[in-house]
Amino acid sequence: MSNCVRGIRGAINVDKNSTEDILSATRELLQRIVEENEIKKEDIAAVFFSTTSDLNAAFPAQAARQLGWHDVPLFCSQEIDVPNSLPLCIRILMLVNTVKKQSEIIHIYLRGASKLRPDLS
């Protein structure tokens, strides 16, 4: 099978809207996605980050830069503010070049965010 681009989803929530909580949780989530899917940094095509409207103390992409991902395109946005949705949540869509089948991709949902996709957690 030849290389193709696959999307890997993930989410994590934090205790409070602080720079430390946002960056620490984002690093944790990124590292788990990379470890579980055996990804090399050079195979990451791009990462999209979103946060719920109650998180604005830091850009989650800064955590990727702290991990040395200086050549990876990163983009942050805010989630739609849906009533009764999970608060204090960071979501990730990582696009990677891989030979893995879609069914072999491991999506990562940590902490309280595991209830977003119980079928994958």
The closest alpha carbon to 21, from 48, 50, 60, belongs to 60
Q: How far is CA 92 from the centre of its chain?
A: 3
Q: Using an 8 Å Cβ cutoff, are 49 and 15 in contact?
A: no
Catalytic residues: 9, 65, 76, 79, 91, 109, 117
Q: Using an 8 Å Cβ cutoff, are 87 and 54 in contact?
A: yes
Q: How far is CA 40 from the centre of its chain?
A: 16
